[in-house]
Amino acid sequence: DPESALPLDEDTFNRRRRVLGPEHPDTLASAHNLALTLRDVGKYELARELHEDTHARMQEVLGVDHPDTLISEENVHRLSGR
């Protein structure tokens, strides 16, 4: 259920960002999960913004050809079409 997952995803993302930093791969994974949940609950603008920020960070940290970066890019394009 996305509605009940949202607080957990937000908490996980915020804790990882605080403890590990915004560029850590685990933080990026949490940001990606949170953006998907935001999309699932209909918060498309917030989801798009987080996807775009996460994608930019993934390109820097993981590289443009990393599988997670490519998945992130696909999600950015999906939300841009809304």
pLDDT in tens, 20-45: 999 999 999 999 999 999 999 999 99
Whole-angstrom distance, CA of residue 13 vs CA of residue 65: 24
CB 20 within 8 A of CB 26: yes
pLDDT at 82 over 60: no
CATH architecture type of domain 2-80 = Alpha Horseshoe (1.25)
User: Which residues are CB-contacts of 5 (< 8 A; sequence separation ≥ 6)?
Assistant: 37
- The domain segmentation of the chain, as residue ranges, is 2-80
pLDDT at 15 over 90: yes
Q: How confident is the model at residue 81 (pLDDT cuts 50, 70, 90)?
A: low
pLDDT of res. 80: 77
